[in-house]
Structure 1
Amino acid sequence: MPLAVVAAVAACGQQSQQPAESGVDDAGNVTLYTTREPGLIQPLLDAFSEETGIRVDTVFVRDGLNERLRAEGERSPADVVMTVDTGNLLDLVEAGHAQPLQSGVLEAAIPAHLRDPEGRWFALSLRDRVLYAEKDLELDGFAYEDLADPQWKGKVCIRSGQHPYNISLIAAMIARHGEAATEQWLRGVKANLARKAAGGDREVARDILGGICDIGIANAYYVGRMKNSEEGSEQRQWGDAIKVVRPVFSGAEDGGTHVNISGAILARHAPNRDNAVTLLEYLVSDAAQSLYAKANYEYPVKAGVELDPVVASFGELKVDPLPLAEIAANRKLASELVDRVGFDQ
């Protein structure tokens, strides 16, 4: 199996490894800049190299991705840039780091609202923002708006409102209902909190097990990780204490569950453009999308791909059709509302 290069710049607080022999026929290389932990995507990259003979040199950039690309300019070795969160992806586009790509393969695999109409960014996997509920709680359905219902007073757990996962959800609420209604909703959610908005998504499940809260909002893929953890482990106990309900937006005929994404761009100055396109198209193949689903428990963007059994048990995912760019446009206002209502205090 080939090993990607994990390169870094010491000033950016990154760690480096030297390239190893790939063990595949040499069809050139492609350089991937990514904010994703290399271990999470390495199975995809290994499979790609085995199939194509193209070596993937991976540069893990924890912070300062935009700044690094700006500093490198036309000299940048980046061919593909991969990140998580719609806002982070669109920041790259707005900073001029992407070049447009028209690809029938990408357009056929990725629904229109999950890619840029001008071909500057593409979603590769989905992260649905769902309800964790105590496993014996009777719920026929749930709307995101219900989090502010007084019946849940003292029963809701959630991580910081300023976390990108929650900023994205709040931004979608603004797109659906406007600023004033979203502010009122946020105040209602804060009034229902069982504890300070803090911790991570898995801590929501932990605190449901501990009887601190009954429900909470978190990403679905964490449940895949928890429920597939070793029998008897803490995380397995947390996962086994909850069930997943996929909320929708109230009153929206076209409403579905809010998703965030992992995605990628074709770098503006990609020196290995053809290999970069080959990598991007591979990442929406059935094989790669299945690896996303089974290794990371994320939801594939391509329809018809087999899911991990735990993820499949959540039922069909109907994605909220609001364009991601429209949601991302409200991020700044969403952050301001979190501070305005003192959500994290």
Structure 2
Amino acid sequence: MKVYKIVSFIIALSLVLTNIAKSDELNIYSHRQPFLINPFLEEFTKKTGINTNVIYSTKGLAQRLRSEGKNSPADVVLTVDIGRLYIYQDLELLSSINSEKLLKNIPSHLRSSDNTWFGLSKRARIIVMSKDRVDKGAITRIEDLADPRWKGKICTRPGSHVYSRALMSSMIAEHGLEKAEKWASGLVSNLARRPQGNDRAQVKAIFEGQCDVAIINNYYFGKLKYSDIEEQRDWASSLILVFPNQSKTDRGAHINISGGGVAKYSKNKDSAIKLLEFLTDEFAQKLYGEINFEYPVNPTVEPTEELKSWGTFKEDKLPILKIAKLSREAQKIIDRVGW
């Protein structure tokens, strides 16, 4: 009988210790590549003592989380754009959380109204032009890319990519369906080649003379400028950067976000909230700029000196959720015009 009681006590103690250990760990489902988030997580663990485990994939994580249901080990979801964040919200896979710090650190147009997801960093969709073949100031607005004067001069990645689709959504929000489609049709008419490749490929095409103008996320410029490959540094040095729509009466440059939320069935919600709060504080916000040339969402944190050297810009304050909600209409236009 005594042996039975001792064994029972040991089993019970093991379960308690296991639960304590689990409370000191966070399981993260991430669409961001490990090398981009590991420096953040290492500092978070150093600061809080909370360890992290990361499952990384570019696709399928929302479906996995949904199928796991209440048995999911996930505590935090991290994504690379508003479109993916909206999928998690739409499938009701995120918890509504209460954090004064997150509400203070993140402007309202960069977080959900129900506090299920939060923007963590910003990137601008910018225009890049050949220094040798395009005069500075020749293009100042994203709308200019539909002007026939640029026929055969523009390169883009496919319209169905999330970055292109988000830009298309922003055009619908600003101009309505009819005018947005007219712009998209004009853009496609001006393409130098069929849409292909990633943003790096568009810069390479400018360098090689295949086109003179392209649309990229701002951080690709930084990656190329500081690449270990000399040829890619040459690509970057051949460019003029344009933050579009910057006049006093204009809306500002289209932006997208990386973001995150707490998984609906997280067993460690308090620790999960601590991670999101950490990612919006000064240290992490500056790290986004240093590691990946992204802009802070926290308005009290200044961009890095490198980002400042590219020029300051006004961002479009369109509620970021509207871009996701217009995604289907954007894709229909993209399909119709053959982007």
Report the residue type matching 1:326 in the other structure: K
Partner SS, residue 283 of structure 1: helix
Moved more, 203-212 or 215-224: 203-212
- 2:7 match: none
2:47 counterpart (14, 34, 51): 51
- 2:235 match: 238
Answering whether residue 35 of structure 2 is matched by residue 34 of structure 1, we say: no
Offset, 1:243:
2.0
Offset, 1:310:
3.4
- 1:7 match: none
Alignment of 1:178-257 (within 5 A): 178-230=176-228, 233-248=230-245, 253=249, 255-257=251-253
CA distance in 1, matches of 2:81, 2:253: 16
CA distance in 2, matches of 1:225, 1:304: 25
Offset, 1:29:
1.1
CA distance in 2, matches of 1:102, 1:38: 28
1:337 counterpart (322, 333, 336): 333
Offset, 1:317:
2.9
What are the superposed Cα offsets for residues 130-185 of structure 1, whole Å, 9 maximum, x if unpaired?
00111253333611110001111111111101110000000110111111111111
> Gaps spanning 5+ residues in structure 2: where?
1-20
CA distance in 2, matches of 1:282, 1:162: 33
Answering whether residue 311 of structure 2 is matched by residue 315 of structure 1, we say: yes
CA distance in 2, matches of 1:267, 1:253: 40
CA distance in 1, matches of 2:58, 2:207: 32
Answering whether residue 98 of structure 2 is matched by residue 98 of structure 1, we say: no
**Residues 145 and 249 (structure 1), Cα distance of their counterparts in 2 relative to 1, 3 Å cut:** farther
What are the superposed Cα offsets for residues 86-118 of structure 1, whole Å, 9 maximum, x if unpaired?
111011011010111121111111111000121
- The alignment covers a number of residue pairs equal to 317
> Gaps spanning 5+ residues in structure 1: where?
1-24
What are the superposed Cα offsets for residues 44-88 of structure 1, whole Å, 9 maximum, x if unpaired?
111111111110111113321121111110111111101111111
Alignment of 1:48-127 (within 5 A): 48-127=44-123
CA distance in 2, matches of 1:313, 1:195: 32
Name the structure with the higher helix share.
2
What are the superposed Cα offsets for residues 232-268 of structure 1, whole Å, 9 maximum, x if unpaired?
6121111111121101289x94601111111001111
Asked whether the 8 Å contact 1:221–1:311 carries over to 2, the reply is no
Higher Cα radius of gyration: 2
Partner SS, residue 145 of structure 1: helix
Partner SS, residue 123 of structure 1: strand
Offset, 1:307:
3.4
What are the superposed Cα offsets for residues 209-232 of structure 1, whole Å, 9 maximum, x if unpaired?
1112111111000001111123x6
Asked whether the 8 Å contact 2:29–2:76 carries over to 1, the reply is yes
Partner SS, residue 213 of structure 1: coil
What are the superposed Cα offsets for residues 256-298 of structure 1, whole Å, 9 maximum, x if unpaired?
1111111001111110111101101000010001111101111
Percentage identity across paired residues of the two chains:
42
